[in-house]
Copies of this chain bind each other. A is one copy, B any other.
Amino acid sequence: MDLIKKLHEIVGIDRATTSPMQLYCYSSDSSQIRGTPECVVRPQNTGQVSQVLRFANEHDIPVTARGAGTGLAGGAVALEGGIVLDLSGMDRILDIDINNLQVAVEPGVIHSRLNEVLGTEGFFFPPDPGSSEMCTLGGLIANNGSGMRSVKYGTTRSYVLDLEIVMADGSVINTGSKTLKSSAGYDLTRLMVGSEGTLGIITKAVLKILPLPKARTVVLASFDNPVLAGEAVVKTLSAGVIPSACEILDRATVEVLNAYDPNIAIPDAGATILFELDGTVSSVKEQAKIVEAVCMPFASGIRIAAGGEEMKEIWSARRLVGAAISRIDPNKTRVYVGEDIGVPIKEVPRMLKFIQSISGEFGLPIITYGHIGDGNLHTGMCIDMLDNEQWKQLDLAADKIHRTAIMLGGTVSAEHGIGSARSKYMRLERGNALDVMILIKRALDPRGILNPGKLGL
């Protein structure tokens, strides 16, 4: 069987390659995971994806789908060779159907582009991954990504109404419909969301959209320690205010930010919470007052953004965290491992303490920030990437972070996915539910061609 010849037949001579340089470019995503495919295919439509899969299935060739390669767990890396299916070229916004509160897109559409287009109509697609400017919607759906706004708006899973999926054998199904609500059989849509390309390939998605809120503000609250911050967050939610974002920065994160840019005016504190509130003009003011009143007994300082400018300033500081970490030490690089744990909300303060103790134990500075409103914490660890001893300590620290999160009833991935980087924790976290996942995987992909080596399957 001449694989590349067959692929050229399907997609055309310029859309399938075995060039070593190309293959090298496709041998990693944004994680440390590496794996080189035998060839890369850039299909232009569902029919081509279907033909590629039918052929691959007949010949037991692994197929790994890829969007923008921004994944942090190796999900788009071809661990067992075979074909990388680069879907970034299928990037049309097919339909903007405001009256039905939905859009139809191809998988390669960049997240921020969709929201730019929707913004002109006064609408938005709520999930907001940090990689918005780069990541594709297909990748976001395959990983059930979310971001800062999930505390109020939920994850990507909540916004997918229908997926066109090419199954392992090349058949094409639609998992849902254009209706907003259905109780007609199994929810294949949500089974596919988060399945990381192991059950089928997303070739089209119908997404629910919402009207843009009229107003937004930010409340910045400082606390002497994370326990007080955690209590303030729980009390705020209980008071009936669901912020559109609820972010925590630990002391180290604020220090890093202030070192990165001295103009960033976040006060030094044991823990800082940023509440973003959205809604109508008056409801935003009202919510801000409630947040202030609820946090007052716990906080060492509270500031409500006076206007749009101040709000943008505070918020851009939050967005800078990722970049600021990399400046801690010019000889060190941030490595994304153990970076996406989730725990039940009330365990957040305990988890933060554990992380600090792990930091001490392994002699690694760790900063922690994240979406406290839904218990999702991101850690930032930097090492000299040429130092094997530091790698070892990093891996040990990450392992302990993962096991601690599971021990607290949490997860090793709240939004970045399992890929292969975290697959070894699947049994520990999911117990014998993993056996049920394996049964489903075997039923839908009996020859095991779809993204092998992932999710602990």
Contacts and interface: CB of A to CB of B under 8 A. Distances in A.
B187 A191 contact: yes
Given A186-B455, A211-B238, 15 more contacts: A100-B344, A146-B181, A158-B158, A172-B432, A173-B432, A177-B411, A180-B345, A180-B375, A181-B374, A181-B376, A184-B430, A187-B190, A188-B436, A282-B283, A442-B443
Number of copies of this protein chain within its complex: 2
Contacts of A146: 181
A367 interface: no
Interface in A167-184: 167, 171-175, 177-184
Interface string A377-414: 00000000000000000000000000000000111111
Interface stretch (A149-157, A326-334, A353-361): A149-157
Nearest to A422: B184
Contacts of A212: 240
A179 B371 CA distance: 12
Interface in A428-457: 429-437, 439-440, 442-444, 455-456
A433 B97 CA distance: 24
A96 interface: no
A334 to B, nearest CB: 20
A150 B237 CA distance: 20
Contact of A411 (B179, B187, B425): B179
A211 B376 CA distance: 21
B345 A410 contact: no
A123 B101 CA distance: 29
A178 B343 CA distance: 8
Q: How large is the interface on A (under 10, 10 to 19, 20 to 34, 35 or more residues)?
A: 35 or more
A280 interface: yes
A248 to B, nearest CB: 15
B183 A144 contact: yes
A456 B184 CA distance: 10
A88 interface: no
A186 B437 contact: yes
A122 to B, nearest CB: 7
13 contacts: A144-B183, A154-B158, A171-B435, A177-B409, A178-B409, A179-B344, A181-B411, A182-B414, A183-B340, A183-B415, A183-B416, A185-B418, A283-B286
A352 to B, nearest CB: 15
B193 A187 contact: yes
Interface string A94-126: 000111111000000000000000000011000
A325 interface: no
A143 interface: yes
Contacts of A342: 179-182
B410 A177 contact: yes
B188 A433 contact: yes
Contacts of A238: 98, 122-123, 211
A410 B194 contact: no
A203 interface: no
B184 A412 contact: yes
A54 B195 CA distance: 30
Closest 3 CB pairs of A and B: A283-B283, A443-B443, A190-B190
A213 interface: yes
Contacts of A415: 181, 183
Contacts of A350: none
Interface in A270-285: 279-283
A413 B344 contact: no
A210 interface: yes
